[in-house]
Amino acid sequence: MNSENSALMALSELKNLEADRVAQVHEDHQAEIEAKRLAQEAAERQAREIAERQAREEAERLAAEQAAREAREREERIRVAEAEARSRAEQEARLAEEQMRIDAQMKLAEQKSKPKWPLFVVPLLVLGLGGLGFMYYSGQKQAEEEAAVAAAERAKIEKQAAEDRAAFQATLERLEQERKKQDAKLAGINKQLSETKSDAERAKLLAEKQALEAKIAATEEEQETTKKKTTGKKKNRNGSKPKASKPAAGSDDPAPVTKVRKKKINLGSGDDPLDGL
């Protein structure tokens, strides 16, 4: 009897333990479900917060861009308004200046239209001015004719001078080129003389050198002759020296004497070798 009671008690205890285990398993399962639910809610809450934060930041960005755009548009409107105001002010200033100019012209025209001389003096003035005008016209006509003759003569002289300068320049350039060729040929002969060992060749080269030196002397003489002609031509076209100016009547001071100074001919500078003579 006691063994049966012990067995029943053991069985009852086992049942209680199984019931406790099942209850614990159920509680653990419920706790797991609750934890998953809480984790899901936390994740959803975090996602909502992130979405809200992103939406808020996007709204702030859009608001900042809108504010910047409105500020730029406002500045552009202000700039356009200032430019228009400045343009209107300049136009008004020009109009005012033009109006002042027109008013001044009208006043000047009114002043000119007013009579300035007594009426009885006008006929005498007309006659006098007519006589003076005729005398002035005659003198002016004569002066114009004399000026035209002088201009034609001067143009003729300048043309002849230009032709002479061109001819002298061409001659001097030709002589200079010829002299350069002769110098180059003489240098070649001297080089050959220093290198040759044949007496016959040396005699031939010496003869060529002597003939070439004679040509060089002739060229130099022609150059000097041309330069003298050029210098004489430049001094006076008529072949006479310039005259000193006479002192004024009743003056004790002697008249200044005009001096003519020769300048050297420089063929290496400028386009005109006769320039500055």
Please state, in angstroms and rounded to a whole number, the distance separating the CA atoms of residues 274 and 265.
Answer: 7
Contact of 260 with 217, CB cutoff 8 Å: no
pLDDT given for residue 78 in this prediction: 93
Q: Concatenate the DSSP letters of all residues of 73-135 into one string.
A: HHHHHHHHHHHHHHHHHHHHHHHHHHHHHHHHHHHHHHHHHS--S-TTTHHHHHHHHHHHHHH
Please indicate whether residue 259 or residue 213 has the higher confidence score (pLDDT): 213
What does the pLDDT average to over 236-260? Answer: 42
Range in 30-39, 134-143, 179-188 the model is least confident about? 134-143
Q: Give the pLDDT confidence of 251-277 residue by residue, as tens digits.
A: 444 444 344 344 443 434 444 444 443
User: pTM score, two decimals?
Assistant: 0.30
| Mean local confidence (pLDDT), 68-79 | 92
Copy the structure tokens of residue 143: 């002066």
Q: What is the pLDDT of residues 103-129, one digit of tens each?
A: 888 888 776 665 555 555 566 666 767
User: What are the angstrom distances between the C-alpha of 193 and each of 35, 182, 212, 241, 266?
Assistant: 123, 16, 14, 51, 34
pLDDT recorded at residue 234: 52
Give 204's Cβ-side CA count (13 Å radius): 7
What average pLDDT does this structure show over 56-68?
A: 92
Q: What is the pLDDT of residue 276?
A: 42
- Say whether pLDDT at 191 is over 70: yes
Closest to 224 in 3D by CA, of 181, 178, 187, 175:
175
For the domain spanning 150-233, the CATH number is 1.20.58
